[in-house]
A = this chain, B = another copy of it.
Amino acid sequence: MAGNTFGTLFTVTTFGESHGPAIGCVIDGCPPGLSLSEADIQPELDRRKPGTSRHVTQRKEPDTVEILSGVYEGKTTGTPIALMIRNQDQRSHDYGNILDTFRPGHADYTYWQKYGIRDPRGGGRSSARLTAPVVGAAAIAKKWLKEKYGTEFIGCMSQLGEIAIPFVGWEHVPNNPFFAANPDIIPELEAYMDGLRKAGDSCGARIDVVARNVPVGLGEPLYDKLDADIAYAMMGINAVKGVEIGAGFRSVAQKGTEHGDELTPQGFSSNNAGGVLGGISTGQDITVSIAIKPTSSIRTPRQSIDRAGNPATVETFGRHDPCVGIRATPIAEAMLALVLMDHALRHRAQCGDVHVDTPQIPARAAQG
């Protein structure tokens, strides 16, 4: 209830702060008998980790994961799987005056108001570093869903600040630091980021994620609808301010004759629904889009107050991502995977084993 557990049947309980001794999580409810080792988890963590390009924070963290429990002789046993990542690069920073003031747009103000206490070390618990254990947990969910149903997760950045990124092909995503599905736009993105860094400013981003080969029938009406849980998962990622499923806000100006996806014996003819109708998966691709706000920790001086309520000017030094959206793609994929994993288990509790039998349309149909 204090909000550090994600999920209901496949639960991920995380712990840790940006600059504490360790971060990690306990995963409960994993089916027994899944082959699992650190080698299944580490690649996902590596996709998210800092320091991989000049456009993200330069903090040096190998993010090496250790499995503390729940696996015996290379198989999950059905008991809790604890993952731990030791923090390595906790060197003392020049925090300037942020210990006594509040960064505009940052959680340090609300944590202090809520708890009456404040851990200023790198944002403490509110740091985006805390997405690492979740990415680790989701690697397990991804593996199980892939083996059981063939479900896969992909994502890309579709806008960086003011620059829209036209979709070219998924194969380009792993080849650039932005997770862009477009090879030609990379120089423009790099120049944009370099300009921001020089200006001491930051920008937002838009990320699209897709789940393919999704079993039909996942999602619980009325309140744990699949899309409701996806919205919850996505809005819970640091800095996210908007979530769309399928046609999203474009639905507002659509007519019913345009929006409602027709069915044929070969499958749906379009995917405005984004793979969810009435809160339950249709078997089509699940398509999600999120808005990420610009980083609040920037070098440009800003007006704020101190703890006593007096006016203060805040400048943030240290190592920060100028666009947290750049590393957000694997995180959004992870959250989507966790939601589907949880609902797969929930579905078979009430309705028995799930099936994947709906005719599919190409993944990008609704977005082309």
Which of A82, A238, A250, A295 neighbours the largest number of chain B CB atoms within 10 Å of its CB?
Answer: A82
Name the distance in Å between A326's Cβ and chain B's nearest Cβ.
13
> If the complex has contacts A26-B13, A255-B161, A280-B111, are A242 and B243 also in contact, measured as CB distance less than 8 A?
yes
Partner of A232, one of B80, B231, B247, B296: B231
Contact size class for A?
Answer: 35 or more
Number of copies of this kind of chain in the complex: 4
A:150-195 near B, CB below 8 Å: 159, 161-162
Contacting residues of chain A (32-81) with chain B, CB-CB under 8 angstroms: 32-33, 66, 68-70, 72, 75-81
Contact with B along A115-151 (1 / 0, CB 8 A): 1111101001110001000000000000000000000
Interface string of A260-284 (1 = CB under 8 A from B): 1111110001001110111111110
CB atoms of A113 and B255 under 8 A apart = no
A310 is an interface residue with CB less than 8 A from chain B:
yes
Report the minimal beta-carbon distance from A305 to chain B, rounded to whole angstroms.
5
Partner of A262, one of B203, B218, B261, B304: B304
A311 at the interface (CB under 8 A from B): yes
CA distance A293 to B243 in the complex (A): 14
Q: Which residue of B lies closest to A3 (CB)?
A: B220
| Interface status of A330 (Cβ within 8 A of chain B) | no
Say whether A277 contacts B110, CB under 8 Å: yes
A116 to B157, CA, bound (A): 38
- Does A309 sit at the interface, judged by CB under 8 A? yes
User: Can you report 14 A-B residue pairs in the complex whose CB atoms are below 8 A from each other?
Assistant: A13-B13, A29-B349, A78-B115, A79-B125, A110-B277, A161-B253, A201-B256, A229-B232, A236-B279, A242-B248, A251-B293, A256-B298, A256-B300, A260-B294
